[in-house]
Amino acid sequence: MTTPELVSSGPVIPVPHRVSAIRRETRDTFTVDLRPPDGLPVESFAPGQFNMLYAFGIGEAAISISGDPGRRGFVTHTVREVGAVTTWLGRLGAGADVGVRGPFGRGWPVAEAAGRDVVLIAGGIGFAPLRSLIYELLAHRDLYGRIGLLYGARTPGDVLFRGELEEWSKSGWVDVHVSVDRATESWRGHVGVVTTLLRNLVFDPAETIAFVCGPEIMMRFAAAELLRCEVAPGAIHVALERNMQCGIGLCGHCQIGPAFVCRDGPVFSYDVVEPWLAVEEL
Amino acid sequence: MVDAAALEALPSLLRARGYRVVGPVERGGAIVLDELASWDDLPRGTTVELGPGAYRLRKRPDEALFGYVVGPQSAKTWLHPPAVLEFRAERSRGRVTVVAEPADPSPVALVGLRPCDLAAIRVHDHVLGDGPVADPRYRSHRGAAFLIVVDCAEPAATCFCASMGTGPSATGGFDLALNELLDEDGHRFVIEAATDAGAEVLGALATRPVPLDDEVRVEAAHERARMAMGRRLDPGRARDVLRNAVESPAWSEVGDACLGCANCTMVCPTCFCTTVEDVTDLTGDHAERWRRWDSCFTFQFSRLSSGPVRTSTAARYRHWLRHKLETWHEQFGESGCVGCGRCITWCPVGIDLTEEVARLESATPESGDVA
């Protein structure tokens, strides 16, 4: 048996964490709380950062942190089952071990939001890293102007974090608008692409910062809409998804233009990435 | 100055100092880098004929020991190895332990590197050795390595180090530098040390002062080599060409020719990309993670759950060439190419990056240069 002292916790070696809770969010998405080994603190993180989660002997996946940065004791990830590693993770129960490396990358520039209106646009699983940001914003709610959240899901059954959406909306802390691509019988909300919800939000474009996370095409349309509303390109921040493997800018897989997304991102200001996203297959 | 016969002591001197001695040896019709049991293992009287997609060994009329230029391998194989065990993990009664595999501590002496190889090591120092997060394995191999460079007198048709400013003679970054001279005055080497470790080994060899004539001969050989470069590429110009050519139609032409085989990235002395492979034994309770060289030419390199970002070969070639010659400057303040020509030689269809840059330049209208 290896003693904990002998286990390196460098950026390339996963540290086994224990699943303290796992709950299903939707048919293909779950949220898992991971507790570090006894004696090790939870790595503090910035909203928008990610961890590499190691499925024993199977592989690793880059997963954004979706939990409250203010909560200590465990780190929370919301994961969509799309491959071998994430499917393996979804089948775990409380008490299982999961390797964790991280946190990696640059998160949302929260400090820049002080004194401004905040527009959050989330698509699908892209809501996960924005939830973490919302917790951070609400911890100091009086620092910010209006906070609006636009969230698009594929179907009503895919809507994540319903409890939080209701709580934030009811409390008046966040102006929440949800849209789905395809409605079902009981859906009474908006149907259509999430960017069409922007007209429902009240914000001062000159004093607004926007945080956008979702499929790349959705982020480009969202940014275009925000620009049309005269939000400055440098005030729009997007989180890019690329194939992140090492997390420290050494393996090359996540490169886009001159950036390694794992190290220089995943959050970028839109004026930086706009020319990159405009080129197909870059 | 050291006579060729006296230099035969070098491998044993290095081994006595704890180094594994690696140098050029002839194997399977090519000159590869492998363990040198003795000085006799060097490819004596051999040269190479290189061209796009062409590598042929030829007999030389003389007994030169380093009468050939670069083979498919470079220092990368030893300082940033193709396969590395990162860690072992065990699962026992549901509990997982992960144990980092220590870096291989055995120091290596690399004999017969070329100036372009040293330039590539400097590039890797910036990428892997002193980035925001360094690769500890690279640093440990690199820190322990003893580097012996041989200046080039007879560049190949695929060489363009002179235009890249990386050769044909080494100006630093070595422990020992050799210049081979072989004429009526005998077979001998002008030898120079640039480090304390190099000076210490040099002190153990039977040396004599360098005659002025030989100094002149070495200089003349460098000058002849500069003139004899088969190709040229201006790194600043190449960067500007690529900046303006992102959406050039010329990419689809090279994309049609390129097989996406990844040879160029494997032989490139600066390409550093890796992937990891997680494996278990049959019980499923003992796992290992291996880090292996990877290539941006593979279809899966940029994969996301929705599929790869770069599905076309043209996009993958563009990614590689732009990184090497353009975005590398932004990331690391220099070109990612050292002018060794390996990617030209080992491309099965003979794609030549210097020609591709020229083609992109002529196919792309200049932006910002309008008078």
Mean pLDDT of A2-21: 69
Sign of CA dihedral A107, A109, A111, A117: negative
From start to end of chain B, where are the E strands? 2-3, 20-27, 30-35, 46-51, 54-59, 83-92, 95-100, 108-113, 146-150, 176-183, 186-193, 274-280, 286-293, 303-304, 307-308
Under an 8 A CB cutoff, do B131 and A249 touch? yes
The beta-carbon neighbor of B301 closest among A59, A241, A253 is A253
pLDDT of res. B367? 52
Which 3 state secondary structure label does DSSP give B241? helix
Whether the CB-CB separation of A210 and A239 falls below 8 Å is answered with no
Res. B364 pLDDT band, cuts 50 70 90: confident
Whether the CB-CB separation of A265 and A244 falls below 8 Å is answered with no
Do you find a cis peptide bond into A47, omega within 30 degrees of 0? no
> Residue A213: which of A129, A103, A118 has the closest Cα?
A129
Question: Tokens 């002839």 — which residue?
Answer: B26
Whether the CB-CB separation of B246 and B322 falls below 8 Å is answered with yes
ipTM rounded to 2 decimals: 0.93
Residue among B91, B97, B335 with most chain A CBs within 10 A, to mutate: B97
Under an 8 A CB cutoff, do B98 and A15 touch? yes
Q: What DSSP string describes A120-144?
A: EEEEGGGHHHHHHHHHHHHHTGGGS
Res. A2 pLDDT band, cuts 50 70 90: very low
**Which stretches of chain A are DSSP H helices?**
84-90, 127-139, 162-171, 216-228, 261-264, 270-277
Whether the CB-CB separation of A28 and B121 falls below 8 Å is answered with no
Under an 8 A CB cutoff, do B278 and A59 touch? yes
Question: Tokens 């050769």 — which residue?
Answer: B167
The contacts of residue B215 (CB under 8 Å, 6+ apart) are: B190
Distances (CA, A) of B354 to B142, B235, B325: 30, 10, 10
Domain boundaries defined on chain A: 4-104, 110-277
Task: Give yes or no for residue A9 having a pLDDT over 60.
Answer: no
Q: What is the pLDDT of residues A81-91, one digit of tens each?
A: 999 999 999 99
Find residues 20-79 of chain A whose CB sits inside 8 Å of chain B: 54-60
Paired sense of beta strands A15-26 and A29-35, if any:
antiparallel
For residue B173, give the DSSP letter.
S
Task: Give yes or no for residue A135 having a pLDDT over 80.
Answer: yes
The contacts of residue A154 (CB under 8 Å, 6+ apart) are: A124, A180, A181, A182
Length of chain B: 371
Q: Which residues of A touch B91 (CB under 8 A)?
A: 56, 97
Task: Give yes or no for residue A151 having a pLDDT over 70.
Answer: yes
| Token representation of residue A113 | 């939001």
Percentage of chain A beyond pLDDT 90 is 92
Distances (CA, A) of A63 to A4, A151, A210, B195: 25, 19, 22, 46
Kindly report each contact of residues B301-304 with a partner whose C-beta sits within 8 Å and lies 24 or more positions away, as own/partner. Answer: B301/A243, B301/A253, B301/B273, B302/A242, B302/A243, B302/A253, B303/A243, B304/A241, B304/A242, B304/A243
d(CA A176, CA A45): 25
Res. A5 pLDDT band, cuts 50 70 90: very low
Q: What is the pLDDT of residues A240-278, one digit of tens each?
A: 999 999 999 999 999 999 999 999 999 999 999 999 999
Q: What is the pLDDT of residues B314-340, one digit of tens each?
A: 999 999 999 999 999 999 999 999 999
Mean pLDDT of A65-75: 93
* Minimum CA–CA partner of A248 in chain B: B133
Q: What is the pLDDT of residues B97-152, one digit of tens each?
A: 999 998 877 899 999 999 999 999 999 999 999 866 789 899 999 999 999 999 99
Q: Which residues of B touch A17 (CB under 8 A)?
A: none
Length of chain A: 282
Q: What is the pLDDT of residues A22-62, one digit of tens each?
A: 999 999 999 999 999 888 888 899 999 999 999 999 999 99
d(CA B32, CA B345): 14
pLDDT of res. A3? 31
Find residues 68-107 of chain A whose CB sits inside 8 Å of chain B: 80, 82-83, 95-97, 99
Q: What is the pLDDT of residues B22-65, one digit of tens each?
A: 999 999 999 999 999 999 999 999 999 999 999 999 999 999 99
Mean pLDDT of A212-226: 97
Q: What pTM did the predictor assign?
A: 0.94
Distances (CA, A) of A124 to A133, B129, B227: 16, 39, 60
d(CA B130, CA B136): 10
CATH classification (class only), A4-104: mainly beta
A278 touches chain B (CB under 8 A): no
The contacts of residue B268 (CB under 8 Å, 6+ apart) are: B76, B324, B342, B343
Q: What is the CATH architecture of A110-277?
A: 3-Layer(aba) Sandwich (3.40)
Res. B366 pLDDT band, cuts 50 70 90: low
Residue among A2, A3, A56 with most chain B CBs within 10 A, to mutate: A56
d(CA A195, CA A218): 8
Task: Give yes or no for residue A205 having a pLDDT over 80.
Answer: yes
A282 touches chain B (CB under 8 A): yes
Task: Give yes or no for residue B370 having a pLDDT over 60.
Answer: no
d(CA A259, CA A249): 9
The beta-carbon neighbor of B133 closest among A59, A99, A250 is A250
Q: What is the pLDDT of residues B185-243, one digit of tens each?
A: 999 999 999 999 999 999 999 999 999 999 999 999 999 999 999 899 999 999 999 99
Paired sense of beta strands B2-3 and B186-193, if any:
antiparallel
